[in-house]
Structures are given as C-alpha cells and as structure tokens.
Amino acid sequence: MPERNAARGPERIAGTTHLDLKNRPSTKGAPLRMQERPFKAKVGLRGGEDVARAVEPVLGFALPRRVGETGSGSGAHAFWIGPDDWIIVYEPGREAQIAQALREACRGLHHAVIDLTERMTTICLEGQRLRDVLAAGCPLDLHPRAFRPGMVLQSHLGKANVILHYVAGNAERPFVDLYTNRSFADYVWKYLENAAREFGYEIVA
C-alpha cells in the first residue's frame, strides 16, 4: 500500500508510474508529443436544470447542454457527459474546494457531486499525427470538420473508455486531452505508443 504522511495524507501515484516515462524511449521533436497529467482536479456533477442554474455563480459560466459542448472560464472546463451529467476540470489541488462549493450551491436540490480526481487520469497529446494515432483505435470521425477546438467527445480507444477534449490548436497542430480511468492508464499509454511508432513520438515527463 502507498506510504502515508500524517500531514499530507496518502501518497498520490500516477497511472503510468511503473512505466518510468522519464527513461522510456522517445524521439525529441517527433510529430506527436505525449504527457500524463494525472492529478488535474475532476469533479462529477449530476442534476437537472435547477442544479445547472444553481452552480453557474460558482463556476462563473453556464454548463454545456448538448453533445460535444464544453463550458469554460477562470481556469475551469465543464464537459457535457449526458442530459444531467457533467465533469468539471480544474488544475490540480482544487478538487475539495470546488466540490464543497458545488454542494453548497445545490443544497436542497436533487443532485450528486463526486470527486473523480484520483479515479481518472489525463494524457495530453499534441502534434500533427494526433488524429492518425487516435484513429488507430477510436471509431469517431476525427476530421477537423467534425472534431474542432473546444469540443469534447466520449468514445473508446481499443478496449478502454475515453473522453477526448480538443483543448486548443488548429488542424495542423491540435492539442487534445484524453481522459480515462487510472486503471486503464497503462493500457492506453502503450496503445498510443504502438499506434505512434510509425510516425515517432516524444514523451514529456
């Protein structure tokens, strides 16, 4: 079991820790860059329209209401997962704060707030070959006309469920965050490496 520190709590272990990414072979300047960012704050929110309206003052923006849409502001992103289901993402360390704020905003309403930070990890992908690599195991239409900056889509990569967030960039050099359960991190990382082998890839660790 992870060692515990009385002041800091249990040690946080990234999904790819045992792969030793710093010493894993990669090619500097390759057309695809890969990096795990495991501890981004991720909070799940369930509820109806009353809940969506109640949390707007906390987030500072409106929650997305349709497939593929995201909301963003003040360093946060909100992903539409289903008609009453969202994931809200911040930089690391804010999960407890935002979860508590959401619970307070939804007091008296039928809702659920779940901290997903430890359950899910994030693999950041950037580069010209990103779409080719994802297409090796993802059935979505990833053409620039169908998958555009700001969009978020759910699918699978091989046998792993994933969420793809087109964070920024353009058709020539997109930047996508791939979210998956931490238990699938090893599988997803190796799948991406295998798919990128013909193009070359650089690991950022």
CA-to-CA distance for 119 and 54, rounded, in angstroms?
26
Residue 6 · residue 181 · CB < 8 Å = no
Q: Give Cβ neighbours of residue 85 (< 8 Å, ≥ 6 apart).
A: 44, 45, 46
Q: Is 39 exposed, middle or buried (0-12, 13-18, 19+ CB in 10 A)?
A: middle
- What average pLDDT is seen over the chain? 92
CATH code of 127's domain: 3.30.1360.120
Domain boundary, last residue among 97, 115, 133: 115
Other CB atoms within a 10 A radius of the CB of residue 91 amount to 11
User: pLDDT at position 74, please?
Assistant: 86
Domain with 73, as residue range(s), is 41-115
Q: How confident is the model at residue 9 (pLDDT cuts 50, 70, 90)?
A: low
User: pLDDT at position 10, please?
Assistant: 66
Residue 32 · residue 173 · CB < 8 Å = no
Q: Per-residue pLDDT tens for 87-100? A: 999 999 999 999 99
pLDDT > 70? residue 163: yes
Could you tell me the pTM of the whole model? 0.90
CATH code of 104's domain: 3.30.70.1520
Looking at the structure of the chain, the number of domains it has is 2
Q: Per-residue pLDDT tens for 87-141? A: 999 999 999 999 999 999 999 999 999 999 999 999 999 998 999 999 999 999 9
The encoded tokens of residue 117 equal 């930070």
User: pLDDT at position 172, please?
Assistant: 77
User: Do both 106 and 48 map to the same domain?
Assistant: yes
CA-to-CA distance for 26 and 88, rounded, in angstroms?
32
Domain boundary, last residue among 96, 115, 134: 115
